[in-house]
Amino acid sequence: MCGIIGYIGHRDAWPIVTRGLKKMEYRGYDSAGIAIVNDVGFNLYKKAGKVSSLEQFTDGKDKSGKIAIGHTRWATHGEPSDCNSHPHSSNDKRLHIIHNGIIENYAVLKETLLTRGHQFDSDTDTEVLIHLIEEIQNMEQTDLLEAVRLALNEVIGAYAIVILDRGNPDQLIAARKGSPLVIGIGADEHFIASDVTPIVEYVKNVIYLNDNEIALIKTNQLSIKQRNNVVQTPLVHELELKLEELEKGGFDDFMLKEIFEQPRSLIDCMRGRIYPKEGKVELGGIKHYADKLTQIDRIIIVACGTSWHAGLVGEYLIEKFAQVSVEVEYASEFRYRHPIIRKDDLLIAISQSGETADTIAAIEIAKNKGATIFGICNVVGASIPRSTDAGVYTHAGPEIGVASTKAFTTQVAILTLIAFYIAQQKGILAPAELTVLLNELNSIPSKIQRVLAENEHIKDIAFEIKDAKSCLYLGRGSGFPVALEGALKLKEISYIHAEGYPAAEMKHGPIALIDEEMPVIFIATKNSSYEKVISNIREVKARKGKIIAIVTEGDIHVKEIADYYIEIPDTDEAFMPLIATVPLQLLAYHMATIRGCNVDQPRNLAKSVTVE
């Protein structure tokens, strides 16, 4: 959600910033802009639409300079337009800001500033912030860094900001609270960005700004202080991300590449954590809480979107193997209730990016009530792993497509390992039992590879149902969250309405929608609910619904009923979601591409939801 990129150094800034904006297009946006300073002047260019529209707009114009800030905006306050695009300027047009987040008290601040003669060019909360900084600097007769610090003490909300002063063009000011910001350290140069994606080709060392920190950034100088004016000694991290991981690698789209990366990402996720021969699971990130996990009697999982679906699978697994009560909550609802949280509870927060605003807020609620907090995250150095007591990285590698694929399967894999780890610590699963389960889990990547070999068959099915106006996804047990995830993928990238339901609930409403035009996708693998699902399929067949079934290899009963079927390898029921999700991802992908949709950047969506 929104992309920030800034540069100060010895190189030409424009190509670095425009390339960076393109690298962050996956975050979702509706406009783009750049402010750039050179020895003789200053230029501000911004345009609604894609970065390519900004490039066309600036063709032939002066783009020289060694210091620049750029932004891709996802609208919150004010519609997408040229004037609402970032960067925004102060009243005297000397200061310029890019901002990710929301200033909640902007209306009150704006009203005060209007009485003091300020005039606004946009409908945004961001413009109010830069006017406030200007007003404080003029009133207090202080430098820009101090003006920013004082202004942020008056602000309620979340922000990641970078400020350029055309009157002092040898520095940038950056600050964050609740929205991510990373500073790349080069040789006599610095880069500032929302995440490492746009700067990994230039630097190996980065600093992740913490909440309430403000940075003064010059070509060869970096200083950081807290909002309370206490100077900080930053922790420098070495990037492990490789540039080639951010390329499509011969695939038409990042989403397809990431679907096909799942066997490898699962291997990376499990490496060094499972020992089938010994019948043992090792999770170094939470090992210091091993004894406490034997006493836990309630786990609360908080997440949003796809991560919430992974949490639902985790609920089945943890309750089955670890025999611990689990509640799965939407973080966006959890934070606005009055949840009952005890000091003995464990809260597990799941987020691919580690920056999901609602999930971070849920963590703070649980932390204030004394609960133990674990995080499951993909991005090293993100806010969630830094704010939790312990946790486990998924090691899925960068996920550029907005619709999560490998993030889901690796999150499910980690939850599986947590279920086994707790069961192991409690003595519920003996090493011999774990050996059987871990051997099967170890085989999942190769079984997913076999599913991926069915890509063309799945594409053929997509052609047959591409004109559907609505689809229904049904499953039982852990097949229910798989159905939810399959429906979400279709909605996200093809813009076809889809709903996931427990198959048994079909008779409580959704069955009224079924006719010969309605594709119904069943998770119909051989498991403890197999016969029940067959009964549900027959009910749909009797009403002329078009049936697409995910079945176990060798199945004969469902094949006789279904209009189309996709076979997946047999596995233990516990691991079915890891395999059954993959054909649903491919089905959604192909339906979207056949319909001409942009699968990597679906409309109105952002990769990381860092605001409410």
Pair of tokens at residue 581: 């999700």
Is the pLDDT score of 264 beyond 80?
yes
pLDDT of residue 242: 62
Query: For residue range 196-241, what is the model confidence (pLDDT) as tens digits?
Result: 888 988 999 999 998 899 999 999 999 999 999 898 888 898 887 6
pLDDT grade for 508, boundaries at 50, 70 and 90: confident
C-alpha angle 273/278/280, rounded to 5°?
Answer: 40
pLDDT confidence of 357, banded at 50, 70, 90?
Answer: confident
Per the DSSP assignment, residues forming a β-bridge with 101 are 159
CA 278 to chain centre: 35
Q: Are 441 and 275 in contact (CB under 8 A)?
A: no
Q: Note the pLDDT of residue 545.
A: 85
Residue whose token pair is 């005890």: 342
Q: Which secondary-structure segment (H or E) carries 362?
A: helix 357-368
pLDDT tens for residues 529-571?
A: 888 888 888 888 888 889 999 999 999 998 889 999 999 999 9
Contact 247, 398 (CB under 8 A): no
Q: How confident is the model at residue 243 (pLDDT cuts 50, 70, 90)?
A: low
Percent of the chain clearing pLDDT 90 (strictly above)? 71
| Amino acid sitting at position 485 | E
pLDDT at 404: 92
Helices and strands (H, E) in the chain, number of each type: 20, 27
In the predicted model, what is the mean pLDDT of the chain?
Answer: 91
Question: Would you give the DSSP letter of residue 210?
Answer: P
CA distance 77 to 125: 6
* Residue from 3, 9, 5 nearest 65 by CA: 9
Q: Is the pTM of this model over 0.75?
A: yes
CB atoms within 10 A of CB 333: 13
Contact predicate 399/352, CB 8 Å: yes
User: Does the annotation mark 218 as catalytic?
Assistant: no
- Give the Cα separation of 49 and 81 in Å (integer): 8
Distance CA 295, CA 198 (A): 44
Among the options 22, 406, 546, 607, which is catalytic?
A: 607
Whether the upstream peptide bond of residue 263 has omega within 30° of 0, thus cis, is: no
CA distance to 182, 205, 236, 482, per residue, from 193 (Å): 5, 13, 15, 35
More confident residue, 243 or 240: 240
- pLDDT at residue 108, as a whole number: 93
- Report pLDDT for 550: 96
Q: How confident is the model at residue 516 (pLDDT cuts 50, 70, 90)?
A: confident
Residue 2: active-site member:
yes
Residue 374 in tokens: 């674990």
- In contact, 442 and 276? CB cutoff 8 Å: yes
Of 2, 304, 377, 471, the active-site residue reads: 2
Q: Which of 22-26, 51-55, 99-103, 257-261 has the highest mean pLDDT?
A: 257-261
Distance, CA of 238 to CA of 383 (rounded, Å)? 17
Rounded Cα gap, residues 374 and 388, in angstroms: 6
Task: Determine the average pLDDT of the residues in 363-392.
Answer: 91
Model confidence at 26: pLDDT above 80 = no
* Range in 70-74, 111-115, 278-282, 523-527 the model is least confident about: 70-74
The yes-or-no verdict on residue 246 having pLDDT over 80 is no
- 201 within 8 A of 377, measured Cβ to Cβ: no
Given a cut of 80, is residue 1 above it in pLDDT?
no
pLDDT the model gives residue 522: 95
pLDDT digits (tens, 9 = 90+) for 270-321: 999 999 999 999 999 999 999 999 999 999 999 999 999 999 999 999 999 9
* Res. 51: pLDDT tops 80: yes
Q: Return all residues near 336 (Cβ < 8 A) that are at least 6 apart.
A: none
Q: How far is CA 607 from CA 71, 193, 399, 421, 527, in A?
A: 16, 15, 9, 31, 34
Instruction: Give the model's pLDDT for residue 49.
Output: 86
Q: Is the pLDDT of residue 597 over 80?
A: yes
Domains of the chain with CATH codes: 3-245 (3.60.20.10), 251-442 (3.40.50.10490), 452-601 (3.40.50.10490)
Q: What is the token pair recorded at 258? A: 């990431």
